A and B are shown apart, each in its own frame.
Chain A
Amino acid sequence: MKNLLSLVNGPQTFGQGRTFWSAALLLLVAALFFPLFVSNYTVGNVAFFAVWVFMALGLSLIWGYGGMLSFGQTAFFGMAGYSYGVIAINFGQQSNLTFLSLILALVMAGLLALLIGYFMIYGRITGVFVGIVTLSLTLTLATFVNQTAGPEWRIGRARLNGYNGMTRIPPLSIPWVDGKLYFEGTAFYFLVLALLVVTYLGLRILVNSRFGNVLVAIRENPDRAELLGYDIRRYQLAAFVIGSTLAGLSGALYTAWGQFIAPASMALPAAAMPIIWVAVGGRKDLTATMVGTLLVLWLFQSLIVISQQYALIFIGALLLVTILFTPGGYLVWLMEHWQAYTERRRERAVPLPSGRPVAEGAAE
């Protein structure tokens, strides 16, 4: 157990040592008390941003660590979102089974990922073709759901509703002393915060474990990894399923938060969003992905209020500039430079060969 926990630090993640973890703890404490000082709208809005981070972290695992550019995070997002909607509408409200609906929704997303991942990875599809297949998947689902507007498309009491999307989906709730506790507003914020902390730490442990090291080795050179005796496809499939299920978590939470899900969540513009969040911050590091995603989301929303059209131009330019000048993402670029800087200082202070962690795996 202690061994496992020690893996939160390791070669595959930036940010270790006392400074980093103190800052992280401080940030967490700030996040815990934050709702006391701001309006309900701001709390809800921050929770809404945080909902997307799971999907970004999942893509970081698949693309950044696993080297497979999945364009289809939204397919799993939608699969879980619609599953949550259908199950919660049918059983959630009366029997307090909304959390079971959430779990079943994740299972559905995971099964879809297993199917597609198996088909793709064992079919030896690589490179840009992974992007195309996953993009086709999400567009197929979007097209399919788009045409379910007719009354014949219902599952139990849930109408799929086509392009309009499903509405009036029950929010997450648990039995409470006086009836029910609904996870809306501040309660939803704390739920998402808790899930986020668990997911982030869990992923750090995962990528710094043997699994993560092998995954990075496969990304760097699949043939060599295979020659060393690793069943590379099993590792890739596992990463794909975990990352896609995290997209499913975003989808189910989004659906529960907005009590709404529509096929537009799976269409082309939506499908490209996770790639922007992850590429801009830095796909090869979980912390950079998380912080980068929150920053882009916040920036985008602030710009949209001023002008939607200019906001999109700005986002396009930001993406282009980032990928041109800091290919690994600007946060990773900053972190690398900061690390190099502190090490130079340490070397000057202690004239011994420093034990720089083997972060080379994260470089091109």
Chain B
Amino acid sequence: MLLATVATLATTAALAQDKPPIKVGFLEDQSGEIALLTLPKLRGAQLAVEEINKAGGIDGRQLELIAYDPQFDNAKFQEFTRRLIDSDEIDVLFAGATSASREAVRPIIDRTDIPYFYTNQYEGGVCDANMIGTGGLPEQQLSTLVPWMMEKYGKKVYTIAADYNFGQISAEWTRKLVEENGGEIVGEEMIPLGVSQFGQTIQNIQAAKPDWLMTLVVGNSQASFYEQAPAAGLKIPMGSSITIGLGFEHKRFKPPAMENMHVAMNWFEEVSSPDADAFKQRWRAKFPEETYINDMGQNAYAAVYLYKKLVEMAEGSTELADLRTQIATGQACIDAPEGQICIDPKSQHVSHRMWQVSVDAQHNVTVERSWDKVEPYWLGEVGCDLTQYDPKEQYTPSYLPEPQ
């Protein structure tokens, strides 16, 4: 009897050993214009994969992380996505920081039955059954921040944004929110990626005399704005959806460059809770050199656990259809370092615990307000319902779904 039990145990163990690994495709820039910000994503995923594998994997299967470096080149994102699908035969894909890279990946992944996690905060609006968006959205980041800024600093707003879909659509959101709240956009400037000299932009802002500035600049070169603006005497309250928590400019620039910056996001390293502190400790044990555990890193880490949860709910299946059946229940929630997050069945984006912070002259970060749960409601409200219909489109306030 005893022997028989031991034998059974041994076979189970052997079976678990024999189960093929779950292949996790992973594409994030490890070099190039924004690598500084996206490298924590790779490390977050590595940490999560290591922890899950140590704890026995997902349904007894180990995770195998297959990562390439697309070097901020959207054509490489496509090339590697094809390679991951056709040659490496991945079960799930995590890819892309910029919205441009996401839009390069989507047409390819959409022709397969592979689930795709996009783990970045972004301009929102993607209604696509293959994609699960786990980053912050305008209704979580901008709808919270903009009215507060207008109340506190005034109704005249100037926007500078990187000239591609993220900047364009985020600027559109800002415009919509400012106008809804009875304010005025006194200037809006789109900056080409790679521009590093902001003399004219700074003077345009001074001439327009806004009450505050929305900065949506992207990448190493454009970050030079934060150095050049105060040097030219432009000291003005700023709001953003990507600085501090994502770009950790307060750690990279000499104070007081980021003074009076305000951001709403689902993660800052400065935020403290038992879960968050334990997570930061595990991270720093594995990667002691990390400058800042940014929002992207936390999101990538949490997204791997979210995938684990979905596969476990689907009783070990990695098929997209089975995972989506579980998403449709509305019960796909995990306790991430930030707090509890749940996937919304209609839009396949997640709810977030949100914080709004401000930065002082010494680059200290103070939490101004926080929300326990902000739903990703916008897509569902305007008519995206992935449980009914899969348009694979990206919607914006000026491009809404047609009523079905």
Contact = CB atoms under 8 A, between A and B. Distances in A.
Indicate if A touches B (C-beta under 8 A). yes
A39 B85 CA distance: 13
- Chain A at the B interface: SS class: helix
B103 A164 contact: yes
Interface in B1-58: 30-31
Interface string A247-268: 0000000000011101011000
Nearest to B103: A164
Contacts of B73: 264, 269
A162 B31 contact: no
Nearest to B83: A41
Contact of B78 (A41, A146, A260): A260
B107 A309 contact: no
Given A146-B163, A149-B190, A39 B78 contact: no
Most buried by A among B75, B79, B83, B193: B75
B103 A167 contact: yes
Contacts of A168: 107
B30 A308 contact: yes
A264 B74 contact: yes
A165 interface: yes
Contacts of B79: 48
Nearest to A309: B31
B192 interface: yes
Interface residues of B, number: 30
A308 B100 contact: no
A6 interface: no
A162 B167 CA distance: 12
Given A151-B398, A162-B163, A309-B31, A262 B69 contact: no
B192 A309 contact: no
B370 interface: no
Contacts of A167: 103-104, 106-107
A258 B77 CA distance: 11
B165 interface: yes
A260 B100 contact: no
Interface string B381-404: 000000000000000001100000
A40 interface: yes
A340 interface: no
Contacts of A304: 68-69
B87 interface: yes
Contact of A309 (B69, B78, B164, B168): B69
B289 interface: no
Interface string A221-265: 000000000000000000000000000000000000011101011
A147 B104 contact: no
A358 B168 CA distance: 60
Contact of B104 (A39, A48, A165): A165
Highest count of chain B CB atoms <10 Å: which of A162, A164, A264:
A164
Contact of B107 (A40, A48, A260): A260
Nearest to A161: B165
A308 B31 contact: yes
Interface string B74-112: 110011001100110000000000011001101100000
Contacts of B224: none
A163 B78 CA distance: 15
B71 interface: yes
Nearest to A48: B79
Interface in A3-53: 39-41, 44, 48
A177 interface: no
A305 B104 contact: no
A265 B31 CA distance: 18
A136 interface: no
A150 B31 contact: no
A164 B86 CA distance: 24
B86 A149 contact: no
A147 B192 contact: yes
A96 interface: no
18 contacts: A146-B193, A147-B190, A149-B164, A149-B165, A149-B190, A163-B100, A164-B99, A165-B74, A167-B103, A168-B107, A258-B78, A260-B75, A260-B107, A264-B73, A264-B74, A304-B68, A308-B30, A309-B31
**Top-7 shortest CB links A-B:** A41-B86, A163-B164, A308-B69, A164-B100, A41-B87, A149-B164, A167-B107
Given A163-B193, A260-B75, 15 more contacts: A40-B86, A41-B83, A44-B86, A149-B164, A149-B165, A149-B168, A150-B190, A162-B168, A167-B107, A265-B75, A308-B30, A308-B31, A308-B68, A309-B30, A309-B31
